[in-house]
């Protein structure tokens, strides 16, 4: 039988606490961006099963609202980094996720190799009735006996088994079921959890279960006698120096808290630097998923959501009003930059390139989704006409909404734009849409023309497109991060998760 508390188990346990706290706090930041949970993939406004916000918006609301108005600002003690920083919260979440999984893999590999797994995995049915009796014993304020030759009693063994082998994998599985690239490529996968919103709800309940386990587990360790416990775990014997053991324990706790404070303060004070550092580690995963998993969604007409949220207020201002008065007949899509054949297209000319129809799931970065039918011209057809030069790597989609006018109170400014890698635009379901749900594209959803890239998050799908520029690099455009939301909200580009 292996040693009861091998050093590797202790080290991975401490790292696990650190990463779980980072994951939990950054997860709350993500939740704050849309603090509502549903069981239905239509996210019907007002029909959530949980709302962690006082603000109420209904589908019949009389004043115009967009999904960004639903976002909440949560306290930086609770959320990482707090104060409406969805972009950075996501970077922290995906960065930590990789370290957390790596720690888990090391732990499991060690448990299997050393035989330690026998302490965690019930190998006989008798553990179950014994665990029930153990809980009864706990309820009479006594401690149940350990299993013979093992460090835990039956109730502990089952609880630890459930956390390591059920709860942790469930969190990973439901997390993946929220990725637009994963569910764009494998729509059946989200359905395993009752859709993306089912996965999102379960992911939140998983967090609650982790938190409940942590509170109970810590309370038990303290009740069992913290100094002896720590001496046994950290120094190998209950008789070892208690003061030393408690000292080491406090040091570990202090380190965990210091990391939280540093991560939070750095993110709030120097968001651009924090974005560059965390994004460097979280980015490859986003890029890989975006590249490898093109969307092939085929929902049915009956799947179309009765209500499709809007994000981004429609353009205002003189220039737009003048254009709107001319109507779609006067509209020209200008395509230029690194192309052999710069051109301007009317909507009819675009239609003449050949249209395509798709019923797909729209995933907003904030957390809501909705299913709609879109029709328009595949971007690949347009690229075939203008013929990008070999050095062109991105297409930049420029929009007509000046955020200083439409979203100014959030401190945002400049025209909306997004750069999308050319290889993503060549995917089958990358579309310049002119129709939605069988009718002309409504103004709030991007009339006369909006982009659809179905394995990405919603913010890449520029509405009210007025021009496209092909470029090799994006660092000279806006603040140089590849899009309005990347520049001003620290989102990632591309976004496969």
- Write out the residues near Mo ion by the rule CB under 5 A: 311, 364-365, 458-459
In the complex with ligand MTE, the residue whose CB is nearer, 156 or 429, is: 429
Q: Which residues pair with 358 in a beta bridge?
A: 374
CB-based contacts of 149, cutoff 8 Å, min separation 6: 1
Q: Choose among ligand MTE, Mo ion, none what residue 278 binds, the Cβ cut-off being 5 to 8 Å by kind.
A: none
Q: What is the C-alpha separation between 153 and 134, in angstroms, rounded?
A: 8
Question: Which of 40, 359, 25 minimizes the C-alpha distance to 199?
Answer: 40
In the complex with ligand MTE, the residue whose CB is nearer, 308 or 481, is: 308
In the complex with ligand MTE, the residue whose CB is nearer, 71 or 134, is: 71
Q: What is the C-alpha separation between 418 and 399, in angstroms, rounded?
A: 9
Query: Closest separation between CB of residue 410 and ligand MTE, Å?
Result: 11
Question: Which of 157, 168, 167 minimizes the C-alpha distance to 100?
Answer: 168
Q: What is the C-alpha separation between 339 and 343, in angstroms, rounded?
A: 9
Q: Quick count: other Cβ atoms within 10 Å of Cβ 251?
A: 10
Residue 6 CA, distance from chain mean position: 35
Q: Which residues pair with 420 in a beta bridge?
A: 395
Q: Which residues pair with 450 in a beta bridge?
A: 433
Give the CB-nearest residue to ligand MTE.
Answer: 312
In the complex with ligand MTE, the residue whose CB is nearer, 5 or 299, is: 299
Query: Closest separation between CB of residue 366 and Mo ion, Å?
Result: 6
In the complex with ligand MTE, the residue whose CB is nearer, 161 or 397, is: 397
CB-based contacts of 256, cutoff 8 Å, min separation 6: 14, 17, 18, 21
Query: DSSP string of 375-395?
Result: EEEEHHHHHHHH-B-TT--EE
Q: Choose among Mo ion, ligand MTE, none what residue 25 binds, the Cβ cut-off being 5 to 8 Å by kind.
A: none
Interface with ligand MTE (CB under 6 A): 308-312, 362, 364, 399, 401, 416, 445-446, 458-459, 461-464
Q: Taking a C-beta distance cutoff of 8 angstroms, is the pair 36, 50 a contact?
A: yes
In the complex with Mo ion, the residue whose CB is nearer, 152 or 491, is: 491
Q: Choose among ligand MTE, Mo ion, none what residue 445 binds, the Cβ cut-off being 5 to 8 Å by kind.
A: ligand MTE
Query: Closest separation between CB of residue 483 and Mo ion, Å?
Result: 12
Query: Closest separation between CB of residue 68 and Mo ion, Å?
Result: 7
Query: Closest separation between CB of residue 93 and Mo ion, Å?
Result: 17
Question: Which of 117, 224, 206, 120 minimizes the C-alpha distance to 167?
Answer: 206
Question: Which of 322, 293, 308 minimizes the C-alpha distance to 453?
Answer: 293
SS (H, E, C) 1-30: CCCCCCHHHHHHHHHHHHHHHHHHHHHHHH
- Polymer length in residues for the chain: 497
Query: Closest separation between CB of residue 291 and Mo ion, Å?
Result: 21
Q: Choose among Mo ion, ligand MTE, none what residue 310 binds, the Cβ cut-off being 5 to 8 Å by kind.
A: ligand MTE
Query: Closest separation between CB of residue 312 and Mo ion, Å?
Result: 8
In the complex with ligand MTE, the residue whose CB is nearer, 134 or 402, is: 402
| Token pair 């998050």 in the structure block, residue | 457
Query: Closest separation between CB of residue 201 and ligand MTE, Å?
Result: 20
In the complex with ligand MTE, the residue whose CB is nearer, 36 or 309, is: 309
Q: Choose among Mo ion, ligand MTE, none what residue 463 binds, the Cβ cut-off being 5 to 8 Å by kind.
A: ligand MTE
Q: What is the C-alpha separation between 403 and 483, in angstroms, rounded?
A: 13
In the complex with Mo ion, the residue whose CB is nearer, 335 or 399, is: 399
Query: Closest separation between CB of residue 228 and ligand MTE, Å?
Result: 54
Q: Taking a C-beta distance cutoff of 8 angstroms, is the pair 231, 47 a contact?
A: no
CB-based contacts of 174, cutoff 8 Å, min separation 6: 193, 199, 200, 202, 203, 206
In the complex with ligand MTE, the residue whose CB is nearer, 337 or 367, is: 367
Query: Closest separation between CB of residue 429 and ligand MTE, Å?
Result: 16
């Amino acid at each position: 039988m292996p040693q009861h508390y091998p050093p590797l188990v202790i080290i991975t346990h401490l790292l696990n606490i650190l990463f779980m706290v980072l994951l939990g706090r950054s997860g709350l930041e993500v939740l704050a961006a849309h603090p509502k949970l549903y069981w239905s993939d239509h996210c019907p406004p007002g029909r959530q099963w949980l709302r962690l916000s006082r603000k109420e918006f209904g589908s019949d609301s009389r004043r115009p609202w967009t999904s960004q108005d639903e976002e909440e600002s949560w306290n930086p003690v609770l959320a990482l980094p707090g104060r409406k920083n969805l972009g950075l919260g996501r970077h922290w979440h995906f960065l930590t996720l990789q370290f957390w999984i790596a720690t888990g893999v090391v732990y499991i590999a060690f448990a299997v190799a050393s035989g330690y797994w026998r302490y965690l995995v019930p190998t006989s049915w008798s553990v179950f009735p014994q665990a029930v009796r153990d809980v009864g014993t706990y309820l009479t304020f006594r401690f149940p006996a350990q299993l013979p030759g093992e460090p835990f009693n039956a109730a502990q063994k089952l609880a630890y088994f459930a956390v390591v082998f059920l709860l942790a994998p469930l969190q990973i599985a439901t997390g993946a079921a929220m990725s637009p690239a994963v569910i764009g490529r494998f729509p059946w996968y989200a359905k395993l959890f009752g859709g993306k919103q089912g996965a999102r709800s379960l992911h939140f309940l998983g967090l609650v279960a982790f938190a409940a386990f942590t509170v109970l587990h810590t309370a038990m360790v303290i009740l069992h006698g913290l100094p002896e416990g720590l001496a046994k775990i950290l120094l190998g014997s209950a008789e070892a120096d208690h003061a030393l053991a408690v000292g080491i324990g406090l040091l570990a706790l202090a380190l965990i808290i210091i990391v939280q404070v540093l991560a939070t303060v750095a993110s709030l004070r120097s968001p651009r630097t924090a974005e560059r550092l965390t994004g460097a580690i979280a980015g490859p995963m986003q890029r890989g998923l975006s590249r490898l998993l093109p969307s092939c969604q085929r929902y049915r007409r009956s799947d179309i959501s009765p209500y499709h949220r809007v994000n981004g207020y429609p353009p205002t201002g003189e220039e737009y009003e003048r254009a709107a008065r001319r109507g779609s007949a006067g509209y020209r899509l200008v395509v230029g930059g690194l192309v052999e054949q710069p051109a301007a297209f009317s909507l009819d000319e675009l239609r003449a390139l050949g249209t395509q129809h798709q019923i797909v799931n729209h995933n907003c970065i904030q957390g809501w989704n909705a299913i709609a039918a879109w029709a328009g011209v595949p971007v690949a057809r347009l690229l075939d006409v203008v013929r990008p030069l070999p050095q062109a790597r991105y297409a930049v989609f420029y929009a007509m909404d000046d955020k200083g006018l439409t979203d100014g109170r959030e401190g945002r400014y400049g025209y909306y734009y997004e750069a999308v890698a050319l290889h993503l635009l060549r995917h089958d379901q990358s579309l310049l849409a002119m129709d939605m749900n069988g009718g002309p594209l409504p103004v709030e959803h991007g009339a006369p023309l909006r982009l659809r890239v179905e394995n990405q998050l919603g913010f890449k799908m520029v509405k009210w497109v007025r021009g496209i520029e092909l470029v090799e690099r994006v660092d000279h455009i806006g603040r140089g991060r590849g899009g309005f939301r990347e520049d001003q909200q620290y989102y990632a580009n591309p976004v496969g998760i």
